[in-house]
């Protein structure tokens, strides 16, 4: 499946934490570490753990620019 | 001003296009090119043009993970 | 690729319109027609046209409830 | 009050869970079950419980398309 | 209909502009003028024009804090 | 740093609560109290506490209009 989101960057999971409802996944890409706040159940459904190769997906309408 | 958004990555503007209401800004970071869809008036207000050093800002709740 | 977004619904494209920067895609699912505002370039990149089988993807943090 | 969000679908609550800050509400529509991650205090303010008739509201700029 | 979004502020429309796909609505609240980028068809469906009393609705997960 | 987000309103923090992953910050502006759901680690990183002068930042594509 190809996805409409303009920003799709390959990276490696370097941190996973889950609370009751939400979880936090850190993904190392070349330039930076991206943090994703997704539901704890999605963390579990995808079985996310350190070292996983994943794709960070960000819709362009969600991106701000600071200058 | 420090901003709550977890993801703030420095990059360089490599493309700017504006329509009537919306605009599109491409920012080259090390790992990839990030596209931001922001209003045309924000493109103008920040005076965004190729070569500008900018910061890409993404709230962690807006990030999806694909695996 | 499996995606963290909790809401992924199969449907059929029933309308595509593009402006300069943004485009609008209508997808018929069983219960309703979902409208997606995505960039015109994503409409083009995916080659979206009426009759396409697609998946509507919505992150759960983007959903509001009215009662 | 009529709302600008293009996607407003009637459904029935089939699951409610709350954590400290966030909560999760599952709403059955005809085609699928939609999950909404909203604050725990909104779950409480609306008194959301299984069987409630609710409206799922999604702004079109938040919808991705996979093909 | 009561809505889960935590932030709902009454205001008055002071500007409406539409492009092909997207539109821009400015709403004066007491403290500031809020700009909403919504689809042009929602501008039309709600019949938004200067002087309209409207409610600005913002989900709390979409708000950033700068300090 | 100037930010592309159209809506930036000065206010004062009047409430801070944190859970495991997410936190909730209430900011009093003139017209209303705005609630922001941000990660607990951002609450900590910015050291948010009652009485802080902060800026509420909202991208215009995230704003809905009710009429």
Measure the CA–CA gap between C20 and B30, rounded to whole angstroms: 28
Question: What is the nearest CA distance from A53 to chain B, expressed in angstroms?
Answer: 7
How confident is the model at residue A22, as a pLDDT?
Answer: 94
pTM: 0.91
> Which candidate from D1, D20, D57 shows the least CB-CB separation from F19?
D20
Q: Please tell me which residue of chain C has the smallest CA distance to B39.
A: C21
For E37-49, what is the mean pLDDT? 92
Residue B52 binned pLDDT confidence (cut-offs 50, 70, 90): very high
Question: What is the nearest CA distance from B34 to chain C, expressed in angstroms?
Answer: 14
D39–E2 CB contact, under 8 Å: no
Residue E25 binned pLDDT confidence (cut-offs 50, 70, 90): very high
Query: Does the pLDDT at position D31 exceed 80?
Result: no
Measure the CA–CA gap between A45 and A43, rounded to whole angstroms: 6
Question: What is the nearest CA distance from A34 to chain B, expressed in angstroms?
Answer: 6
Beta strands D64-66 and E7-18 are unpaired
How confident is the model at residue D32, as a pLDDT?
Answer: 87
Q: Please tell me which residue of chain C has the smallest CA distance to B63.
A: C59
pLDDT in tens, A14-54: 999 999 999 999 999 987 899 999 999 999 999 999 999 99
How confident is the model at residue F7, as a pLDDT?
Answer: 93
pLDDT in tens, B9-26: 999 999 999 999 999 999
Measure the CA–CA gap between D52 and E2, rounded to whole angstroms: 13
A31–B34 CB contact, under 8 Å: no
The dihedral region occupied by B39, where left means phi > 0, alpha psi between -120 and 50, and beta the remainder, is: beta
Cβ atoms of A1 and A28 within 8 Å: the answer is no
B38–F59 CB contact, under 8 Å: yes
- Residue scoring higher pLDDT (D31 or D38): D38
Give chain C's contact residues with B (Cβ, < 8 Å): 1-5, 19-22, 39, 41, 57, 59, 61
B/C interface, count of CB pairs below 8 Å: 43
CB atoms within 10 A of CB C19: 20
Q: Which residues of chain D are within 8 Å of residue A36 when distances are taken between CB atoms?
A: none
> Which candidate from B11, B37, B66 shows the least CB-CB separation from A61?
B37
Query: Does the pLDDT at position C31 exceed 90?
Result: no
For E26, phi then psi, to 5°, come to: -105, 130
Measure the CA–CA gap between F29 and F25, rounded to whole angstroms: 13
The CATH number, out of the four listed (2.40.50.100, 1.10.3720.10, 3.90.230.10, 3.50.50.100), of the domain defined by the range C7-60: 2.40.50.100
> Which candidate from A46, A52, A58 shows the least CB-CB separation from B62?
A58
Q: Which fold, E7-62?
A: OB fold (Dihydrolipoamide Acetyltransferase, E2P) (2.40.50)
Instruction: Look up the ipTM and state it.
Output: 0.90
Residue B8 binned pLDDT confidence (cut-offs 50, 70, 90): very high
Measure the CA–CA gap between C42 and E21, rounded to whole angstroms: 14
Residue C44 binned pLDDT confidence (cut-offs 50, 70, 90): very high
**If DSSP codes are grouped into helix, strand and coil, which group holds residue E15?**
strand
D25–C64 CB contact, under 8 Å: no
Query: Does the pLDDT at position F31 exceed 80?
Result: no
Touching chains, C (3+ CB pairs < 8 A): A, B, D, E
Query: Does the pLDDT at position C42 exceed 90?
Result: yes
Give chain C's contact residues with A (Cβ, < 8 Å): 1-6, 36-39, 41-43, 45-46, 55, 57, 59-61
């Amino acid at each position: 499946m190809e996805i409409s989101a303009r920003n799709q960057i390959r990276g490696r999971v370097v941190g996973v934490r889950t609370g009751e409802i939400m979880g936090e996944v850190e993904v190392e890409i070349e330039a930076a570490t991206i943090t994703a706040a997704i539901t704890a159940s999605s963390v579990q459904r995808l079985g996310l753990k350190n070292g996983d190769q994943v794709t960070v997906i960000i819709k362009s309408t969600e991106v701000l620019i600071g200058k």
